[in-house]
Structures are given as C-alpha cells and as structure tokens.
C-alpha cells in the first residue's frame, strides 16, 4: 500500500515538473537560475519519501492512548454560562477535520511558494490544480484511508474528502463526537443567545497525532459580517418609484460605481479595455441572493448585463438575514469595480459545529473556483481555535500555490478586534484571525476627508451614470466610533497579530516596526465609512452601506484588472504590493492622518509613513497599480558567492561557510537570507540581513539521527527587486561513539572532546 501511494505521489510530481519545464520559456526568466530550481526539486522530492515512511507506520490505532489537542475550546464557552449537555442524538453536521502534512512537505511547499513568485525560477507562476496540490502536499492515500476508517468506526458519515487531501467533511451526532474526541458538547447562554460548544479540548488517538490537526471547530460561535451600517436611501423608496441614487445629502455623498471609478482611477483602465474580462472573483457567503437585485443594481449603474453564478455546496442556506446583506453587497461591488469579471458566490449555511464561511472558503480553494477570493467576515485570533487558525493559514497557502489571490476584510471595531462594532466598549487589542495569515491580503478602511471643501471633490449634480465624484479625494483612517464623532466601536480593524512573525516583505517598509516583529494588518484599505457610504440594491430597495465589507470586494475588483493584464492568476500578492510601495509609491495613497482608537482600546495612528497599522499601505491608484503590477523579467541586482559549494559534517556536529553578497548595479541594497533544508538540519546566519558588499557566516547543524549521505542546502537572498540563490552540497557522515578518549569520555567521532 505504501509503495503504491509513494509511486502515485512521485508520478504526479514528475508530471507537474515536466509541465512546468515545458512552459518555462514563456513565463519565467529561468536562464538566470535553473540550477537553483533543480536543487529545489531535489529537496521537494525527498519530502515525498518521508511521507511514505510516515504513512506505512500508521496501521493500528490504540484508542486507549490519546493526545490532547490544546487550544481547541472556544474562549466564549465559559463555565458560568454552561446550560448543560446537549442530548446524545443531537445532529452535528458538516464538521471539518483538518489534516497535517509532514514537516518535509511544509518545507517543500514554502520553497514552491517562494519559487512561484521568483521570476528567475522555472516554477514562476506555474500554478497547481487542487489535485496536484493534494498529490504533492496532502497526506498519503494510506493515511487518508486510516483516518476515514477511524471516523467511520465511530459511526460518522464521510461527506467529502477534499482534493487537497488535507480536509475531510464528516457528520454525526453529539454522542459520536464524545466517543471519538473525548469531549462533551454543551449548551451555553452568552449575551442572551444559546450556543453549542465543546466543553474541553478534544483528544484523538496518539497514533493519529502526526496526521490529524483536529476538528476546525466544534461550536457555533461563528465569524461576523463586516457590514457596519445599512440604511435605506430616500426613505426606503423602491426602484420602481423612479427615485435615483442621491448624489448629496447635506455633507454626505453616496458612492456609486462611477464615483468609485473616478476616485480610485479605475476609469482609465476601463478605457484601455481592462474590465475584468476572463477573470473569476469567488465570494464566500452564508446566504443566497436574488439575481434580480444584482441585475437592477447593474442596470441602474449603467453597467452591462453580467449575471453572477451561485454555487451551493450542499444545503441551500436560502435568503438568510444579515448574511444576505453581505452576500448581496459583495457580489454587487466586486462586479461594479470589474464589470466584465465573472463573479461566483459560494453560499454555505453554518451548522451547530461549523461556520458556513469556513465551508465556503474551503470549497472555493479546493475546487479552484476563481483566481481571486473575497471574504468579508471577521473573527478575532483569540476567539478562534488553534485548529481553525492553522486551517485558514494552510488554506490560504494552498490558494497561493494554485494562483489564487485572497482578500479578507480587516474588521469594523478598530483596534478592539474581539468586539463587535456595535458594542459600546472594547476590552483588548486584537485583529481578524481570518486575514492575519501572511498569505491573505487584509483590507482595512479609510474615510474621505472632504468636509472642509466638498465642492472641490463633488459635482453639484449626477452625471448620466450617477457619478458626482470629480477626482481622487484625500483620505484619513476610517473611524466613526464614539471617540470620533460617531457611535460605538465602528472603525478600521488593524494592529499586530499574535500568531505569525512579521514577513520580511512587510518588515522592510517604513512604519511596520510598530508591530514589534509580528505580522501586522491590514495590508491595504479603501473607503469604508458611512460618510460617503456605498450604495447597494437589495429586495428592490437601495441602501447605503459602510464597513470593511465594502473594501474587500472592491479591491478584489481592482485586482481583477491586474489578473486580466497578466493573463493568469497571481497567487499571494502581498510581497508584490509591498515591493511596489518601495519602487512605485504613486500606486498608493498613503494615509496622512487619523487612528483606529476606540472606546476602551488604544489603537494605531497614521501619519504619512509608507505603512501604518490602521490602513496598511493606504488606498490605491488603480491605474498605476495595474500598469506596474507585472514583474519585469530582469536579472537580480546582486550576487551571492559561497566560500565553498560542498562540505562534510558528522551527524551531531556543525560546520560553516562564508557567503559574500555583492551588488551588480549602482544601488546598495539590504539582502535578507533564508534557507531550504532537509529534516534534521538547521541553518543559522550571522547576520541574516546583509548589506551588499559584505558577507555573512552560514552555520549548518546536523542532528545526531540524520542518515549518512548527500543533502542539498539552498540559501536564498532577497531584496525588494529580486532573489538569488546558491546551492551547498552537504555530505553527512554517520559515526559511532568513541570510548578511547582520556578519562573514559564518550563523544561522537570527529566531535571535539574535553581535554
């Protein structure tokens, strides 16, 4: 069985590499770095051998030996609110079991993701299908079958095994959950609402610990829509009454698609034929919508007929309250900004154990439904279980490997990310855990600063397309909380996360140091304020809405033009956004003022730096962004030279070599170093960031149990404009203990011993 699984995985890997090499001449600058790609392929290949070894050991499950999956009890399920056990036959539908790849697979995926964004690599923009991703980075067929047998053995029904081989959807009842996961499901009364949740951290058999990460959630404390407000226009006048969109109401102006196009310079792209043609934007939702609403919205805005597609992966959630508002907004505004794009709504209902947004997001990625993904929901990091946080990070990594770019709203409660925007006071600083992964682009909110002279930015009447905005309008941080003339906590979500360290592409920009080494959000922002709110049409009535719910699908629409121009998906976009902030600052409108401080929680201030923790890099000039998006195919602007290309180190010992960094142009850049290494070998740099013209010491440490033989170490340097790599061949020597040293001292042969 293990041999068949290994053969299958290696066959899929070789098929993909063959396809990638066939397309190299068309899509990359591979002639600059072909040897590096070959070394990366060798490192990736070794990971699949390790996977097969792991799976062959998983043949028996001893249910008496368990491990606890810590961090998987929702913090809102407090004993003081416990209303007791649910009945044993309570249905628990659509649970998601997240599966864990090997460390070698994770290293290989990290290498692939870097190579896919490296113009000098044969893997540049060579995206995987979900099946290819599963073959390379999912659990083995044998491990998958074992987990399925375990679930079925406890009475669960398997609903779906994802193509990624990393996720199983299963259903059962409360008694089966308690039997399999050793945790009881209870009712909790929280803020007057009855919820269901597991009362303690789940446990699984120790034999599955290397394969099963855990259930993504076993509770119904779900994420929240990021619509801040929704108010009818013209006293809820129906479209049939002939009332047109209001261009002005006192000092407030309403945003229609043509206004957005004028303010963010989308109009020039449209005139050049960039309108999202051929690009699909997939929207994650928990409700169906009325297609007639979208048709009326587009007709009123003067947009061409272009009906969205609705995909229901299972039970139709119907028209579901606030989630309907969110789904309607997201579909209408993604299509408003990119009028020719294909907009696909994936609508999945929540269950007593699983958030519908988790289901919809996973379906979009595992079925590769669009090159752009838009999610307008938020759940703070501390309110998410450890498995749910890792689920989203893994899902967004998979999306990146498949060429999908993910945009997620940052939230609407300012720095107090664990509170709803409608609450009166925050308790502590927090951020949206659904977008704190470095592989998601987190979208915050700005507010137009047009109050002192609105006539400079708004016409006194609407045009034929109901546009009244004249040009770009200066922006400040969106903050309509009680501390800034508004109510409650309504403001742009943002701040440092607590899960992921700060990526090098973010740490390099001015202002990012305020995150103290942690991943900071948001990355970008667009208008989200009720002041100059955005119009949607729902149920035949026009509404003006606010919140970062508007910003995420609108930015997805802008990015559809970049994808159209490039001719294919772009994968994780963050590194490129931040590189453009350095090379082409005109692509962004940095935020000069404002903050996201709200009652009870001090936030973060914008003062004109390249980056701030309330609006990120600011908003965008769509034309400049799209026209400069494609990375030019040029050689890197520095070289790496190793003092040696190979060496030998005994298992349990360490060694080093020197790496020289030299500039090839006039610019003196700082190069950040990383390494791809096989399991059991660690690399450290002294220092890890090197100014061109200087050197660093690369130290290799080999663990005692590493097998003898040659191993490939790939060291990569990166600056804002490109990457370079060198390959070091390490021969690992396996030695026995020596016992003939003075005083009877034992040491590994070749290791210095005390005298």
Q: How confident is the model at residue 239 (pLDDT cuts 50, 70, 90)?
A: very low
Residue pair 345/376 in contact by the 8 Å Cβ criterion: no
Q: Is 600 left (phi over 0), alpha (psi -120 to 50) or beta?
A: left
Give the integer Cα–Cα distance in Å for 93 and 115: 39
pLDDT of amino acid 668: 65
Residue 249 structure tokens: 């109401």
Give the integer Cα–Cα distance in Å for 617 and 264: 15
Count Cβ atoms below 10 Å from residue 401 Cβ, excluding itself.
Answer: 26
- Condensed to tens digits (0 to 9), the pLDDT of residues 424-449 reads 999 999 999 999 999 999 999 999 99
By CB atoms closer than 10 A (0-12, 13-18, 19+), residue 555 is: buried
Residue 392 structure tokens: 């989203």
pLDDT of amino acid 454: 87
How large is the C-alpha radius of gyration of the chain? 27
CATH of domain 638-748: 2.60.40.2310
Q: Is 23 helix (H, G, I), strand (E, B) or coil?
A: coil
Sketch the domain layout of the chain as residue ranges.
2-215, 227-627, 638-748
Asked whether this chain's domains 227-627 and 638-748 adopt the same fold, the reply is no
Give the integer Cα–Cα distance in Å for 409 and 445: 9
Is the omega angle on the peptide bond into residue 252 within 30 degrees of 0, that is, cis? Answer: no
Residue pair 114/217 in contact by the 8 Å Cβ criterion: no
Which of 28-42, 219-233, 245-259, 444-458 is the least confident region? 28-42
User: What DSSP string runs through 78-117?
Assistant: -GGGEEEEPPTT-EEEEEEEEE---HHHHHHHHHHHHHHT
Q: Which residue has the tokens 């698609």?
A: 257
Helix locations, 58-191, DSSP H: 103-116, 130-137, 141-153, 174-181
- Expressed in angstroms, the distance from the first to the final Cα of the chain is 52
- Condensed to tens digits (0 to 9), the pLDDT of residues 477-508 reads 999 999 999 999 999 999 999 999 999 999 99
Which of 19-33, 112-126, 294-308 is the least confident region? 19-33
- Condensed to tens digits (0 to 9), the pLDDT of residues 630-681 reads 987 665 678 899 999 999 999 999 999 999 999 876 666 788 998 877 778 9
Residue pair 339/331 in contact by the 8 Å Cβ criterion: no
Q: How confident is the model at residue 108 (pLDDT cuts 50, 70, 90)?
A: very high
Quick one: average pLDDT of 188-201? 96
Which of 39-43, 397-401, 597-601 is the least confident region? 39-43
Q: What's the helix, strand, coil split of the chain in %, to 5?
A: 30, 30, 40
Which of 112-121, 130-139, 146-155 is the least confident region? 112-121
| pLDDT for residue 240 is more than 70 | no
Give the integer Cα–Cα distance in Å for 364 and 371: 10
| pLDDT for residue 48 is more than 70 | no
If we measure between CA atoms, which residue out of 383, 82, 435 comes closest to residue 222? 383
Q: Which CATH number fits domain 227-627: 3.40.50.1980, 3.30.465.10, 3.40.50.200, 3.60.20.10?
A: 3.40.50.200
If we measure between CA atoms, which residue out of 671, 675, 684, 683 comes closest to residue 723? 671
pLDDT of amino acid 279: 98
Residue pair 660/640 in contact by the 8 Å Cβ criterion: yes
Give the integer Cα–Cα distance in Å for 257 and 245: 11
Contacts of 340 (CB under 8 A, 6+ apart): 275, 276, 277, 304, 306
């Amino acid at each position: 069985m293990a041999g068949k699984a290994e053969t299958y995985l290696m066959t899929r890997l070789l098929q993909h590499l063959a396809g990638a090499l066939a397309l190299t001449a068309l899509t990359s600058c591979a002639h600059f770095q072909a040897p590096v790609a070959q070394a990366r392929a060798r490192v990736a290949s070794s990971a699949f051998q390790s996977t097969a070894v792991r799976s062959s050991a998983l043949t028996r499950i001893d249910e008496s030996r368990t491990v606890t999956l810590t961090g998987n009890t929702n913090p809102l399920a407090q004993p003081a609110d416990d209303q007791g056990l649910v009945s044993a036959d309570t249905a628990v539908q659509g649970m998601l079991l997240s599966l864990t790849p090997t460390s070698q697979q994770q290293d290989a995926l990290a290498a692939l993701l870097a190579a896919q964004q490296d113009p000098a690599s044969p893997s540049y923009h060579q995206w995987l299908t979900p099946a290819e991703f599963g073959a390379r980075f999912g659990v083995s067929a044998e491990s998958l079958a074992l987990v399925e047998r375990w679930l079925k053995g406890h009475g669960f029904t398997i609903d779906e095994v994802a193509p990624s081989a990393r996720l199983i959807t299963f259903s059962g009842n409360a008694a089966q959950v308690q039997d399999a996961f050793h945790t009881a499901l209870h009712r909790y009364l929280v803020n007057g609402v009855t919820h269901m949740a597991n009362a303690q951290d789940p446990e699984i058999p120790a034999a599955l610990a290397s394969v099963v990460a855990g259930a993504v959630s076993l509770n119904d404390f779900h994420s929240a829509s990021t619509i801040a407000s929704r108010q009818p226009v013209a006293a809820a006048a129906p479209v049939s009454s002939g009332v047109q969109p209001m261009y002005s109401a006192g000092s407030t102006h309403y945003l229609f698609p043509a206004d957005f196009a004028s303010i963010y310079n989308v109009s020039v792209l449209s005139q050049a034929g960039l309108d999202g043609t051929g690009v699909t934007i997939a929207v994650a939702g928990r409700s169906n919508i009325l297609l007639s609403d979208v048709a009326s919205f587009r007709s009123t805005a003067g947009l061409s007929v272009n009906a969205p597609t609705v995909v229901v992966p299972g039970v139709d959630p119907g028209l579901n309250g606030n989630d309907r508002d969110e789904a309607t907004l997201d579909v209408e505004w993604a299509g408003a900004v990119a009028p020719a794009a294909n907009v696909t709504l994936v609508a999945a209902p929540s269950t007593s154990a699983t958030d519908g947004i988790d289901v919809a997001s996973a379906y979009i990625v595992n079925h590769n439904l669009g090159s752009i993904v838009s999610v307008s929901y938020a759940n703070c990091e501390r309110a998410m279980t450890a498995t749910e946080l890792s689920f989203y990070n893994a899902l967004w990594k998979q999306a990146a490997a498949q060429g999908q770019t993910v945009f997620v709203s940052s939230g609407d409660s300012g720095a107090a990310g664990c509170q709803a925007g409608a609450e009166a006071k925050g308790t502590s600083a927090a951020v949206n855990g659904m977008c704190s992964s470095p592989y998601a682009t987190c979208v915050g909110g700005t507010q137009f600063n047009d109050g002192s002279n609105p006539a400079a930015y708004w016409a006194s009447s609407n045009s034929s397309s109901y546009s009244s905005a004249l040009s770009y309008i200066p922006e400040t941080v969106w903050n309509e909380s009680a501390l800034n003339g508004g109510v409650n906590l309504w403001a742009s979500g943002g701040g440092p996360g607590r899960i992921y360290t700060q990526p090098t592409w973010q740490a390099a920009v001015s202002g990012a140091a305020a995150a103290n080494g942690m991943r900071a959000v948001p990355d970008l922002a667009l208008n989200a304020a009720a002041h100059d709110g955005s119009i949607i049409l729902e149920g035949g009535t026009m509404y003006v809405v606010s919140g970062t719910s508007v910003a995420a699908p609108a930015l997805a629409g802008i990015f559809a033009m970049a994808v159209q121009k490039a001719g294919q998906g772009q994968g994780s976009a963050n590194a490129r956004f931040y590189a453009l902030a350095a090379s082409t600052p005109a692509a962004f409108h940095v935020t000069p003022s404002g903050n996201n401080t709200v009652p009870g929680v001090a936030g973060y201030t914008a003062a004109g730096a390249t980056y701030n923790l309330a609006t990120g890099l600011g908003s965008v000039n769509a034309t400049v962004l799209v026209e400069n998006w494609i990375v030019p195919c040029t050689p890197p602007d520095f070289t790496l030279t190793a003092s040696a290309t190979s060496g030998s180190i005994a298992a349990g010992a360490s060694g080093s070599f020197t790496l020289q960094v030299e500039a090839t142009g006039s610019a003196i850049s700082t190069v950040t170093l990383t390494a791809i290494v096989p399991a059991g070998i660690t690399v450290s740099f002294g220092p890890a960031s090197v100014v061109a013209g200087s050197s660093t010491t690369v130290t290799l440490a080999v663990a005692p149990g590493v097998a003898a033989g040659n191993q490939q170490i790939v060291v990569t340097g990166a600056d804002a404009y490109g990457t370079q790599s060198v390959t070091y061949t390490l021969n690992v020597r396996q030695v026995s203990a020596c016992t003939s040293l003075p005083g009877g001292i034992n040491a590994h042969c070749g290791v210095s011993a005390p005298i």
